[in-house]
Amino acid sequence: MRFDNQPGSFERMKQFNQSTVLNVIRLKEPISRADIAKLTKLTKPTVSTIVSELLEENLITEEEAANSTVAGGRKPFMLRINYSAYYIIGVYAAAEVIRVIMSTMDGKIVSDFSKRISHLPSKNEFMDIVFDNINNVLHHSLVKREAILGIGVAMHGLVDSDRGVAIFSPHLHLENIPIKEILEKEYNLPVIIENDVRALAIAESWFGQGQGVTDFVCLSVGLGIGSGIFIKNEIYRGPFNTGGEIGHTIIEVNGPKCQCGNYGCLEAYASETAIFEKVKRELDHHQDSIIYDWIKVGKSELSLDMVFKAAKEGDPFAIGVLEESGRSLGLAAANMVNILKPSKLILEGYIFEEGDFIVTPLKEMIEKYNFKSPHEHISVVCSELGKTGMVLGAVTLILHKLFKTDN
């Protein structure tokens, strides 16, 4: 199925109708041709032609209905998406790892390969890692090239999804990488690139906590902090591809310096790096902390895992640091909720998975500072996809294009 026909042409309209029918089947399967015509307002002959094309392309399957009948006593044929007919390559490029998967059209992973980034790579080194990972997945999946629909890329930092360019990746110190152009030239497949947290939000809308939710926000915390904003079933990018950069909102004008060069960003207070650095910086003033014993006596190396372990054992210093980060995140989230009024906030990140030390104060701040009417309810939940949501988001970029029914 071609992705890039010219708008307004007969082929573009044909693709639009195909995507419309395909999406109705995805949402309502199993479904008959007659019901598709009713839901799409397309004529029965048009639906019949499109269904025949989709069957020929192996994108859908049909089976005789078990119990219902149509006029004349015939049982209708019910249609379903053939999710295992085609595959998608998903690339997640983070500050610390590049992960590539091959998945079916329903997000089932059939091949998975990751490589840690041990030093700041040059542009060429970065792309070489991406190539190696994709080639590894292609080799081990044994999927034929003609069965691959495309490559989706979820990229850390600022991304121009229209041009397919990674504009700026602050933690990798890389700028202006034409990822779409490079990958399409190398693999002769359609490529779509998006910011990693926006890709996560798209994955949540298809496979996670965002299913069936028209307006929600994903808040992702790792080495950096970002958000993906869904408004009326569409991801929000903004005119400059910077929509959702909550990590670089200022919570203290005289605060510590952030990776972006500004001072007092949320990311400098509540990211994994910020939590680690705060414990490291203040540990000598908390010699009664069990972390101090583990570091000084046991000669262990400080880690974020150690901070959470200490908190679980009731260490006041560790708990205090984590709760302060939770309050900072909660304050920023409350401001975002007040502006956007989503019905759900989805939290993604390791720090949300290690108990309620951060989640509880975050929720308390939202409850305290959220200006709401009596009928409003903001659901705050943790992602069930986790970091896999980023690479599944890359896959979903291609799925969204395949099933897309708007212009």
Q: What type of residue sits at position 359?
A: V
User: Residue length, the chain?
Assistant: 407
Rounded Cα–Cα distance for residues 137 and 245 (Å): 31
Domains identified in the chain, total number: 3
Q: Do 146 and 245 lie in a common domain? A: no
Q: Do 164 and 254 lie in a common domain? A: no
Check: CB of residue 288 under 8 Å from CB of residue 297.
no
pLDDT of residue 376: 80
pLDDT of residue 76: 81
Rounded Cα–Cα distance for residues 42 and 145 (Å): 33
Rounded Cα–Cα distance for residues 20 and 402 (Å): 10
Counting beta carbons within 10 angstroms of the beta carbon of residue 133, is it exposed (0 to 12), middle (13 to 18) or buried (19 or more)?
buried
Quick check: is 1 in a domain? no
66's CB contacts (< 8 A; 6+ apart) are 75
* Percent of the chain whose pLDDT exceeds 90: 76
Quick check: is 3 in a domain? no
CATH assignment of the domain containing 69: 1.10.10.10
Average per-residue pLDDT for the chain = 90
pLDDT of residue 375: 77
pLDDT at position 13 over 80? no
Check: CB of residue 22 under 8 Å from CB of residue 405.
no
Mean pLDDT of 42-46: 93
Q: Do 252 and 150 lie in a common domain? A: no
Q: Do 140 and 289 lie in a common domain? A: no
Quick check: is 222 in a domain? yes
pLDDT tens per residue, range 164-222: 999 999 889 999 999 999 999 999 999 999 999 999 999 999 999 999 999 999 999 99
Rounded Cα–Cα distance for residues 26 and 113 (Å): 29
pLDDT at position 8 over 70? no
pLDDT at position 10 over 80? no
pLDDT of residue 259: 79
Among the candidates 46, 81, 116, a domain finishes at 81
pLDDT tens per residue, range 85-128: 999 999 999 989 999 999 999 999 999 999 999 899 999 999 99
Q: Do 199 and 222 lie in a common domain? A: no
pLDDT of residue 171: 85
Q: Do 321 and 399 lie in a common domain? A: no
Rounded Cα–Cα distance for residues 233 and 255 (Å): 36
Q: Which of the 8 DSSP states describes residue 251?
A: S
Quick check: is 366 in a domain? yes
Phi and psi, residue 225, nearest 5°: -135, 130
pTM across the whole model: 0.90
SS3 breakdown of the chain: % helix, strand, coil, rounded to 5?
45, 20, 35
Q: Do 215 and 344 lie in a common domain? A: yes
Mean pLDDT of 372-399: 91
CATH assignment of the domain containing 258: 3.30.420.40
User: Which is it for strands 165-169 and 158-160: parallel, antiparallel or unpaired?
Assistant: antiparallel
Give me the DSSP letters along 189-200: S-EEEEEHHHHH
pLDDT tens per residue, range 117-154: 989 999 999 999 999 999 999 999 989 989 999 999 99
Count CB neighbours of 13 within 10 A. 12
Quick check: is 2 in a domain? no
Rounded Cα–Cα distance for residues 267 and 328 (Å): 10
User: Which is it for strands 77-81 and 60-64: parallel, antiparallel or unpaired?
Assistant: antiparallel
Range of the domain at 49: 10-81
Quick check: is 5 in a domain? no
C-alpha closest to that of 79 among 126, 25, 115:
25
Q: Do 393 and 380 lie in a common domain? A: no
pLDDT at position 82 over 60? yes
Q: Do 216 and 263 lie in a common domain? A: yes
Cα–Cα distances in Å, from 68 out to 35, 45, 48? 13, 22, 20
Q: Do 287 and 357 lie in a common domain? A: yes
CA atoms within 13 A on the CB side of 105: 22
Rounded Cα–Cα distance for residues 331 and 339 (Å): 13
pLDDT bin (cut points 50, 70, 90) of residue 298 is low
Q: Do 76 and 107 lie in a common domain? A: no
- Residue 127 CA from chain centroid, whole number: 21
Phi and psi, residue 94, nearest 5°: -105, -175
Quick check: is 164 in a domain? yes
Among the candidates 37, 57, 81, a domain finishes at 81
pLDDT tens per residue, range 240-291: 888 888 999 998 888 888 877 889 999 999 999 999 999 999 999 999 999 9
Q: Do 180 and 224 lie in a common domain? A: no
| Residue 381 three-state SS | strand
pLDDT of residue 341: 93
pLDDT of residue 73: 60
